[in-house]
Amino acid sequence: MPQNATAKARTCGNRGHVSTQGYDGELRSERCYVADLHRRLDAERARVKERYDAALLGTGGTALERDDEVRALAKEVKRLAVADNGLCFGRLDAVSGERSYIGRIGLFDEDDEYEPVLLDWRAPASRPFYVATAANPEGMRRRRQFHTRRREVLDFTDEVLGRPDGAERGDAALLAAVNAPRGEGMRDIVATIQAEQDEIIRLDHPGVLVIEGGPGTGKTVVALHRVAYLLYTRRERMERHGVLVVGPNPAFLNHIGRVLPSLGESDVVFMTPGDLVPGLRVTAEDAPEAARLKGSLKILDVLAAAVADRQRLPEEPLVVELGGVRGRIDAETARWAREEARTSGLPHNEARAVFAEIVTYVLTERAIARIGKDWLTRSDRESWERLRADLVKELAEDEAFTAALDELWPVLTPESLLSALYASPERLRAAGADQALWRADGDAWTVSDVPLLDELVDLLGRDKSDDRAAERRRQAETRYAAEVLDSLVGRQDSMDDEDHLFATDLLYAEDLADRVLERDTRELVERASADRDWTYRHVVVDEAQELSEMDWRVLVRRCPGRSFTVVGDLAQRRSPAGATSWGAMLEPYAPGRWAYRSLTVNYRTPAEIMAVAAAVLAEFAPDVTPPESVRACGVQPWSRQVGGDELAAAVAEFVRAEADREGTSVVIGPPGVPGAVPASETKGLEFDAVLVVEPEHILADGPRGWAELYVALTRATQRLGVVHQGPLPPALRGLVAVGAPATA
- With vertex at residue 448, the alpha carbon angle to CA 445 and CA 452, rounded to the nearest 5 degrees, is 85
Q: Which one of 155, 186, 217 terminates a domain?
A: 186
The CATH number of the domain holding residue 635 is 3.40.50.300
pLDDT digits (tens, 9 = 90+) for 463-490: 665 555 556 666 666 666 566 556 655 5
715 in any annotated domain:
yes
214 assigned ligand-binding residue: yes
CA 664/CA 685 separation, integer angstroms: 11
**The pLDDT of residue 502:** 44
Q: Which one of 602, 621, 636 terminates a domain?
A: 602
User: String of b and e for 151-172 (b: at least 16 CB within 10 Å)?
Assistant: bebeebeebebbeeeeeebbee
682 assigned ligand-binding residue: no
Residues 334 and 294 in one domain: yes
1 in any annotated domain:
no
Residues 419 and 470 in one domain: no
The percent helix, strand, coil of the chain (3-state, each to 5) is: 45, 15, 40
Number of neighbouring beta carbons within 10 Å of residue 403: 12
321 in any annotated domain:
yes
CB contact at 8 A, 107 and 117 = yes
Residues 435 and 304 in one domain: yes
**The pLDDT of residue 409:** 98
193 in any annotated domain:
no
CA 273/CA 249 separation, integer angstroms: 8
540 in any annotated domain:
yes
The 3-class secondary structure across 728-741, one letter per residue, is CCHHHCCCEECCCC
Residues of the chain with pLDDT under 70: 1-21, 59-60, 163-176, 182-184, 463-521, 702, 740-744
CB contact at 8 A, 136 and 89 = no
334 in any annotated domain:
yes
CB contact at 8 A, 729 and 705 = no
Residues 506 and 556 in one domain: no
Residues 510 and 647 in one domain: no
Residues 590 and 613 in one domain: no
The pTM (predicted TM-score) of the whole model is: 0.84
Q: Helices (H), strands (E): how many in the chain?
A: 28, 23
Q: Domain residues for 673?
A: 607-737
Residues 592 and 616 in one domain: no
**The pLDDT of residue 644:** 79
- Residue 139 makes CB contacts below 8 A (sequence gap 6+) with 94, 95, 96, 128
- Residue 73 makes CB contacts below 8 A (sequence gap 6+) with 48, 51, 52, 55
672 assigned ligand-binding residue: no
Q: How far is CA 632 from the centre of its chain?
A: 34
3-class DSSP assignment, residue 428? helix
> How many domains are contained in the chain?
5
Residues 709 and 564 in one domain: no
CA 558/CA 562 separation, integer angstroms: 9
Q: Specify which residues 91 forms β-bridges with.
A: 101, 144
CA 384/CA 681 separation, integer angstroms: 70
Nearest to 427 by CA among 305, 316, 334: 305
CA 86/CA 104 separation, integer angstroms: 7
216 assigned ligand-binding residue: yes
Nearest to 679 by CA among 547, 541, 539, 546: 546
Q: CB burial class (10 A; 0-12, 13-18, 19+) of residue 45?
A: middle
217 assigned ligand-binding residue: yes
Helix or strand holding residue 89 (H, E): strand 88-94
What DSSP line would sit under 350-418, residue for residue? HHHHHHHHHHHHHHHHHHHHHHTTTT--TT-HHHHHHHHHHHHHHHHT-HHHHHHHHHHS----HHHHH
393 assigned ligand-binding residue: no
Residues 456 and 468 in one domain: no
Q: CB burial class (10 A; 0-12, 13-18, 19+) of residue 465?
A: exposed
Residues 263 and 316 in one domain: no
Residues 623 and 596 in one domain: no
Radius of gyration, alpha carbons of the chain: 33
CA 155/CA 177 separation, integer angstroms: 15
Nearest to 205 by CA among 228, 232, 236, 226: 226
195 in any annotated domain:
no
**The pLDDT of residue 187:** 79
Helix or strand holding residue 51 (H, E): helix 23-57
CB contact at 8 A, 513 and 475 = no
Helix or strand holding residue 689 (H, E): strand 687-693
101 in any annotated domain:
yes
243-246 vs 268-271, strand pairing mode? parallel
3-class DSSP assignment, residue 93? strand
| Phi/psi-derived region of residue 242, left when phi > 0, alpha when psi is between -120 and 50, beta in every other case | left
Q: Which one of 429, 460, 491 terminates a domain?
A: 460
206 assigned ligand-binding residue: no
220 assigned ligand-binding residue: yes
Residues 172 and 86 in one domain: yes
